[in-house]
Amino acid sequence: MLSPGTHVRVRFDWPETRGPCHIRTPHFIRGAEGVVERHLGRFPNAEDLAFARPAALLDLYHVRFDQPAIWGEGRAGDALVIELAETWLEPT
């Protein structure tokens, strides 16, 4: 489990290019670096549930990103917070 304050990178992966899938990780955030805000709990993997497959429990996190770094607009201190599953996060 990742602790609040842990610096992470979102995996730069495109599983949709390998066949049908359901992905909850936005395209624009893949490869970006952020900071874990908080652990939300363990939940069945929504990417498996979408296809009625058995779904392992995954840790889910709120991860904060610097908004200007993501969208190229906004002021210093503006942030974007996204819910991301552990399988998409790599500690940096």
26-68 residue pLDDT tens: 999 999 999 999 999 999 999 899 889 999 999 999 999 999 9
**26 three-class SS:** coil
* Contact assessment for residue 37 and residue 64, using Cβ atoms and an 8 Å cutoff: yes
Give the model confidence (pLDDT) of 1-31 as tens digits. 999 999 999 999 998 888 888 788 999 999 9
Output the average pLDDT for the chain. 94
What's the pTM?
Answer: 0.91
Q: What are phi and psi of 39, to 5 degrees?
A: -85, 130
Closest residue by Cα to residue 92 from 73, 72, 65: 65
Domains of the chain in sequence order: 7-91 (2.30.30.50)
